[in-house]
Amino acid sequence: MRPDILNPLFAEAKTLDGVGPKLAKPLGKLGLERVKDIAYHLPERFVSRRAIANLDDGAEGEQVIVALTPTEHRAPYNPGRGPYRVLARDEIGNICALTYFGRASYTAKKQLPVGEKRWVAGRLDRYGDMLQIVHPDHVEVDSAAHLARMNEPVYPLSEGLTQPKVAGLVAQSLKRLPELPEWIEPGQFEREGWPTWHDALHLAHKDAHEKARDRLAYDELLANSLALLLVRADGRRRKGQALKGDGRLRAKLALPFEMTGAQKRSISEIEGDLQQEAPMLRLLQGDVGAGKTVVALAAMLIAVEAGKQAALLAPTEILARQHYETLRKMAAPTGAEVALLTGRAKGREREGLLMGLLNGEIDILVGTHAIFQDSVTYKDLGLVVVDEQHRFGVQQRLALAGKGRRAPHTLAMTATPIPRSLTLAQYGEMDVSRLDELPPGRQAIETLVFPQARMDEMVAGVERHLATGQQAYWVCPMVREANGSFEQADIAAAEARYAALAERFGDSVVMVHGQLAPEIKDANMERFASGEARLLIATTVIEVGVDVPTATLMVIEQAERFGLAQLHQLRGRVGRGSQKSRCVLLRSDELSENGKKRLTYIKDSQDGFYLAEKDLELRGGGELLGTRQSGDAAFMIADLEQVQKLLPAAHADARLLIDRDGGLTSARGEAARVLLYLFERDWGVQLLRGG
C-alpha cells in the first residue's frame, strides 16, 4: 500500500485550480495526470531575454521583449493550410509578423487586437525578408509584467497549453509538496551538498540549478536500481529447474545456412544458463537482421529436448504470426509441435490449444500477451522468450514467470543496440549476449551526404530512382524549436514538403505523420506497402514497424540534427530486399562540430553497437532533435549524461542497502520504500511481502 504521506502527490491534476476537462487533454498528452507529474514537469531550459526599444536593436535568433502594435490580421488563404499571421509595428515603424500554426490562431485573435499596444516576448526570426516571431511565448498588456521575464523557465508544452498556464500549475503543485524522509545515504548527501527532495524540486523550477537537478535524477536512478535488484533477488530465491538438452532435436534442424560465430556463442551461453537451477535472465541484443530468431529456436529446442515446453511472447499480433510461420517451418524437421495463440483464437480452436498445452502435446507456443492469461495453463513451462523486450514491463515478465510449476528461464530479445554503460540502467542485472556480427552476404547500404541547398538535384535524383520502378522514403525533420513549441510546426514543414513533391510526382506520393487519424495513416502505409504509392513522405514515425523490401532509397532532411541511433534505425528501413539500397543524408550549410562527426560516423558504419556508443559520446549540447521521444528515454527525469554520471553510485548504493536490509525495514529502508512508490517502482516493494 502506498504510504499516506504521498497522497497529496498522487492526487489527480484536476484537483488543482483551473484544471477542467479542457486542460485535461493537453496535460494528458504530456503525461501530466497527477499533482506529482506536474511538480516533476521540469523546465527544458531557462531563457534570458533582453528588452529592446525597437526591432533594430534585436539580433536574429535572439530572445527579446518588445512593444508592438498589431496593424493587420492575415488568415491563411486556405483554412488549415499555412499559418495565421498578425502584422505588427514597433515604435519606429518596423514591421514584424507574429506567426501562429493550427489552433493557436484563436489565441492570436484574442490577444492581439489591431491598434492596441502589447508587450511581446519570443524569439526573433526572419521569414523571407520580414522579421517574425513564431508562437510568441508571452503577450502582455501590462508594461511592468515584462520585467519579470528575464530568467524564465521554458516548459515542454502541448497544443492548448501556454507557458504561463503551466507555470501557474507548477506553482500550485509545489505548494502541496510534503516533507519526505531522506532516502539518500547520509555520507553521500553530505559529500554532494545536495538539497533535500523538497528543496530540490523548488530549486529546479527556479533556475538551472545543477545540484537540484542531479539530486532529482539520482532519486530516480536509485529507485530504478532498487527495484531491479529486488526483482533479481526474488528470482534467485525462487527455484528454477535445470534443463539439459541432449541435442537430438537441434541435430535435425536443416538450416539453409551456417550459423555465425556470434550466434553459436550466444547459443552456448544460453545453454550454459539453462543447465543451472537458478532461472536464467538473459538479454539477447542484436540489430534487425542479425538472426535472433534462430537463436531463440535453438534455446526453445533445448527446453523441448529436456522434456519441457517453451513460449515466445511477441509485442503485436502481426509479429506473433510472423514468428509462428517462421518457427513452424524451421522446426518442422525436428518434429517439435509449434502452436499460435493470440487474442483472436475463440471457441473450439482455443479450447483445443489450451488442451494441447495442458497435456503437453504442444511443445512451443507463440503468441501475444494472451499466452499468459490466467486461463492458460502449461503442462511444464521451462523457458519464456520475450521479443522486443522494451515494450513489456517488468510486471508482465513477472506474471509470466509465475506460470511454471517452478520459475521458468527467461530470454529477452531486443533489436535496439544499447551502449554497454546503459544496459545496466535499462535491463538491470540481466546477463547479456550480443549478436555483433551480421550473417554474411548482407548488402551494405550506400550512405551519402548531400547539401540540403541542392534540393533540386535531390528531387531530380528521386525522380530517376522512381522511374526505375523502385520506391523511396523521404524523412522530414522535426523543425520544432527545443522550446516546447508546437508539433504543428513540424507537421507544417512536412505538409509543405509533401505539397511540393506531390506537385512533381502526383498521387504516387503519400504521407504519414503523428497527427493523421490512424485509419488514414494505415491506409497510406498500405498503399505504399502494396506498391501503389511509390514515395512515402514521413516524419520520424516510420521508425517503427515498416518493412517494404522494394523501398531502396531513403532521403533524410537535416540529417545532422538527428541522433546517431535514430539515423541508424531510420536507415534500417532500406536494404531489406535483394536490390542495392541507398541512403542520402541532406545536411545544412552550417554544421556544428558534433553534427559533422555524426554524419561521418553514420556514413562510415553500419554497426549498431558501434553507433550506439558514438551516439552517447556525442550527446549533449541540446542540438539533437527529439531525443526524449526516440525511445531511449528509460527515465523521466534523468537524462543520458546524468545516467552516466550518477548511475554507478546509485547502483552501488542500492546494492549496499539491499545487502544490509533486504526487507527494507530500517529507517532508511522505510524511506526507500517511499521512494519506490514515488517513482512507481512499487512492484519491487510487492516482492518483499512474499519473501
Task: Find the shortest distance in angstroms from Cβ 441 to ligand ADP.
Answer: 7
Output 251 or 652, the one with its CB closest to ligand ADP. Answer: 251
Output 136 or 291, the one with its CB closest to ligand ADP. Answer: 291
Q: How far is CA 300 from CA 250, 384, 576, in A?
A: 10, 8, 27
For residues 371 and 396, the answer to whether their CB atoms sit within 8 Å is: no
- The sign of the dihedral angle between the CA atoms of 662, 666, 672, 677 is positive
Name residues whose C-beta falls within 8 Å of residue 362's C-beta, 6 or more positions apart in sequence.
Answer: 309, 337, 338, 339, 353, 356
Name residues whose C-beta falls within 8 Å of residue 572's C-beta, 6 or more positions apart in sequence.
Answer: 287, 288, 289
Task: Find the shortest distance in angstroms from Cβ 225 to ligand ADP.
Answer: 29
Q: Binding to ligand ADP by residue 294, rule CB under 6 A?
A: yes
Q: 162: phi > 0 → left, psi -120 to 50 → alpha, else beta; which?
A: beta
Q: Binding to ligand ADP by residue 608, rule CB under 6 A?
A: no
Output 338 or 401, the one with its CB closest to ligand ADP. Answer: 338
Q: Binding to ligand ADP by residue 319, rule CB under 6 A?
A: no
Task: Find the shortest distance in angstroms from Cβ 436 to ligand ADP.
Answer: 12
Output 275 or 326, the one with its CB closest to ligand ADP. Answer: 326
For residues 671 and 678, the answer to whether their CB atoms sit within 8 Å is: no
Q: Binding to ligand ADP by residue 439, rule CB under 6 A?
A: yes
Output 262 or 341, the one with its CB closest to ligand ADP. Answer: 262
Output 106 or 257, the one with its CB closest to ligand ADP. Answer: 257
Q: Binding to ligand ADP by residue 288, rule CB under 6 A?
A: yes
Output 521 or 573, the one with its CB closest to ligand ADP. Answer: 573
* Chain centroid to CA 203: 27
Q: Which three cell numbers stand for residue 330?
A: 524451421
For residues 582 and 448, the answer to whether their CB atoms sit within 8 Å is: yes
Q: Which three cell numbers stand for residue 60?
A: 536574429
Q: Binding to ligand ADP by residue 291, rule CB under 6 A?
A: yes
Stretch near ligand ADP under the rule CB under 6 A, chosen from 124-132, 290-298, 354-362, 669-677 = 290-298
Stretch near ligand ADP under the rule CB under 6 A, chosen from 34-42, 216-224, 266-274, 288-296 = 288-296
- The sign of the dihedral angle between the CA atoms of 643, 644, 645, 648 is positive
- 301-326 burial by CB neighbour count: b if 16+ within 10 A, else e? bbbbbbebbbbbbbbeeebbbebbee
Binding mask 133-152 for ligand ADP (x = CB under 6 A): --------------------
Task: Find the shortest distance in angstroms from Cβ 549 to ligand ADP.
Answer: 12
Q: Binding to ligand ADP by residue 290, rule CB under 6 A?
A: yes
Stretch near ligand ADP under the rule CB under 6 A, chosen from 273-281, 292-300, 400-408, 607-615 = 292-300
HSE (side-chain half, CA atoms, 13 Å) at 554? 28
One-letter identity of residue 400: L
Output 190 or 258, the one with its CB closest to ligand ADP. Answer: 258
Stretch near ligand ADP under the rule CB under 6 A, chosen from 289-297, 473-481, 580-588, 624-632 = 289-297
Per the listing, cell 511565448 goes with: 137
How many residues bind to ligand ADP according to rule CB under 6 A? 15
Query: Hey, how many other C-beta atoms are within 10 angstroms of the C-beta on 354?
Result: 17
Task: Find the shortest distance in angstroms from Cβ 553 to ligand ADP.
Answer: 22
Residues 171-210 touching ligand ADP, rule: CB under 6 A, are none
Per the listing, cell 535483394 goes with: 578
Cα–Cα dist 146/67, whole Å: 10
Binding mask 235-274 for ligand ADP (x = CB under 6 A): ----------------------xxxx--x-----------
SS3 content of the chain, % helix, strand, coil (to 5): 45, 20, 35
Q: Binding to ligand ADP by residue 414, rule CB under 6 A?
A: no
Stretch near ligand ADP under the rule CB under 6 A, chosen from 17-25, 197-205, 281-289, 310-318 = 281-289
Give helix 163-175 / helix 197-206 axis angle, nearest 10°: 160
Output 290 or 362, the one with its CB closest to ligand ADP. Answer: 290
Output 417 or 684, the one with its CB closest to ligand ADP. Answer: 417
* Chain centroid to CA 72: 42
Residue of 196, 293, 605, 630 interacting with ligand ADP (CB under 6 A): 293
Q: Binding to ligand ADP by residue 443, rule CB under 6 A?
A: no
Report the interface residues with ligand ADP, using CB under 6 A. 257-260, 263, 286, 288-294, 415, 439
